[in-house]
Structure 1
């Protein structure tokens, strides 16, 4: 197993088990204690994990939003189901936008066989997932946001007005009928606002835990969102409230 694969596996294990001893990681990964210690030291320097007495744990976010490494493995079954449903709305020849986020990242896994597809993205994991496929990839330029593994764009680095996006798949950390969709980071929110304005159809891909939350930065009211695709654990009161508005709610 390559170092990056081992480190990703360590994050995955800690996401599930919360705290692990070094001996447990050594046994789980089937490598020497020296190798595990090197991985732990690197992940600690990157700010992804922290050492505690007798073991290690994930670093908890201080500002409300967890890192993408943490979110990649939380509610994974629901996110994969949502992503697969999203892929059913993507046709050969489309030009689509895939947002940065743990749910929209999963979409990339289900579209590799599409023909003459163009993907515009700000997500480094999406680029890595599609890099060996035949899909045309356009990556938005700008500043790298390390915790999110995304690129937050600025007008002088990318000409948004020239994009011709048929379908945009957007993430959100909060969804309410009254306030619409919201997120934690201003720069990410600004990019999403511009993509929503430019796209012919807008899809929000978010698991059911995001409903009923209105977090730091407002992105858009629901009148600009055509579809919200979520998992089937969404409470019935949310489902009934969406029947009164124009945004279509789709359960995966």
Structure 2
């Protein structure tokens, strides 16, 4: 197992059990204590874990938006399922927008072999994922947001009006029936608002933990969203409520 794979496995284990002893980790990963210490030193220097007496624990995320790296490893199976379902809505020849986010990143992995596909994005990881594919890539211009690995758009650098985006797949941090979709960061929200206004169809890719949250900045009301693609852990009562709305709730099994 490569160091990056081991380090990801360590973080996955800590997501399940917040504190782990060193003997538990060496047994689970089948590695020596010296190899484990090197991996733990790397993760500690990245600010992802904290060493405690005889073991390690996850660094608690600050209130609000967690980092892209943290979100990449949370609810991974659910996000993969959501991404796979989203990819089924994308056809050869489409011009789509893939938002910066851990769930939309996974969509990129499933559309690499689509023919004559154009992807507009503000996500650096998505650009990297599609770089060696035949997909036509357009990245918006603006300021790099290091924490999110995204580009925050500026009107004088990018002309949204010139785009013919047929389908937009965006992320958010909160979803409520009354208030719609919302996010923590103003600049990210501004970019998403522009895309929502511009796109022919708007899809929100969001795991079930986002429902019931109305966070800092409003992006759009639900009536502007064609569908929300989420995982099977979504509340059954909420599923029933969505049946009365224009916005479709699609469950990715």
Structure 1: gaps of 5 or more residues? none
Change (3 A) 1:180 1:236: same
Partner of 1:227: 227
Secondary structure (helix, strand or coil) at the match of 1:144 reads: strand
CA shift digits 1:125-150 (9 cap, x unpaired): 22232222221222223333333232
Partner of 2:207: 207
Partner of 1:155: 155
Structure 2: gaps of 5 or more residues? none
Partner of 1:127: 127
Partner of 2:117: 117
Q: How does 1:13-162 map to 2 (within 5 A)?
A: 13-162=13-162
Deviation at 1:32, TM superposition (A): 5.0
CA shift digits 1:40-77 (9 cap, x unpaired): 33333332222222222222221222223232232222
Q: Is the 8 A contact 1:15 1:70 kept in 2?
A: no
The whole-number CA distance in structure 2 between the counterparts of 1:247 and 1:171 is 16
The whole-number CA distance in structure 2 between the counterparts of 1:145 and 1:72 is 16
Deviation at 1:236, TM superposition (A): 2.7
Deviation at 1:120, TM superposition (A): 1.4
Change (3 A) 1:149 1:28: farther
Deviation at 1:187, TM superposition (A): 1.5
Deviation at 1:247, TM superposition (A): 1.4
Deviation at 1:202, TM superposition (A): 0.4
Secondary structure (helix, strand or coil) at the match of 2:73 reads: coil
The whole-number CA distance in structure 1 between the counterparts of 2:155 and 2:191 is 10
Secondary structure (helix, strand or coil) at the match of 1:86 reads: helix
Q: Which moved more, 1:27-36 or 1:14-23?
A: 27-36
Secondary structure (helix, strand or coil) at the match of 2:213 reads: coil
The whole-number CA distance in structure 1 between the counterparts of 2:236 and 2:6 is 41
Q: Is the 8 A contact 1:186 1:217 kept in 2?
A: yes
Change (3 A) 1:14 1:228: same
Change (3 A) 1:142 1:112: same
Partner of 2:247: 247
Partner of 1:10: 10
CA shift digits 1:204-245 (9 cap, x unpaired): 011222112111211111121111111233223212222332
The whole-number CA distance in structure 2 between the counterparts of 1:126 and 1:136 is 12
Corresponding residue pairs, total: 252
CA shift digits 1:147-187 (9 cap, x unpaired): 32322222233332322211100111111111000111112
Change (3 A) 1:97 1:21: same
Q: Which moved more, 1:188-197 or 1:7-16?
A: 7-16
- Taking structure 2 as the reference length, the TM-score comes to 0.88
The whole-number CA distance in structure 1 between the counterparts of 2:202 and 2:145 is 24
